[in-house]
Amino acid sequence: AWRLVGVCLLAVSAGCTSGGWPLGGKVSDTVPGITPPRERIATLRQLAKQAGKTKPEDRARLSGEVAAMYPGESDPLVRLEVVRTLGSLPEAAEATFRQAAKDPDADVRVAVCQALGKRKGPVALEVLRERLAGDTDMDVRLAAAKALGEIRDPAAVEALGAALQERDGLGRRQRWLDR
């Protein structure tokens, strides 16, 4: 019985390394009716490139469609691209940025900070201050600090000053960098 298991394992591993199923046929990573993440990402990148050339009313519609993708998306790489695409749309849904600022993936939260740093405005200021003060990931906090610096608002300067005074936050990192 063990020999039969060994022969089967050998046949399966040989078939897998040759690029196909052991019994022949092509292997596909697509499932009918489901768009693979790489294609969704490519589509979002194309939309972001074309955003500047699109009419304002079309950008508003497009922004709503892209924002609607975020809540149901399970792939963090696609969520990241959704945020980046929204960052290129001036009419982007602020509610999506607020939601994405609390995303479980730190790279998505960094992208939110980068997008909001270019946007400015009261919502950007509020979300960035929250990320700077309360995020557990240092990269997110640094991205929020950089974005707040780009906003150049007195309230942003106040938030940055408070962060530098923290003993275990950006203040400690800043002192380390000054050495």
148 within 8 A of 132, measured Cβ to Cβ:
yes
Q: Which of 43-52, 79-88, 130-139, 156-165 has the lowest mean pLDDT?
A: 156-165
Question: What single-letter DSSP state applies at residue 54?
Answer: S
Q: What pLDDT does 124 receive?
A: 86
Q: What pLDDT does 38 receive?
A: 93
* Predicted confidence (pLDDT) at residue 86 exceeds the cutoff of 80: yes
Please give the residue that has the higher pLDDT: either 53 or 112. 112
* Predicted confidence (pLDDT) at residue 116 exceeds the cutoff of 60: yes
Say how many C-beta atoms besides its own lie within 10 A of residue 168's C-beta.
Answer: 7
Q: What pLDDT does 144 receive?
A: 92
Q: What pLDDT does 119 receive?
A: 82
* Predicted confidence (pLDDT) at residue 174 exceeds the cutoff of 50: no
Look at residues 170, 110, 114, 179 and name the one whose alpha carbon lies nearest to residue 147. Answer: 114
* Predicted confidence (pLDDT) at residue 88 exceeds the cutoff of 60: yes
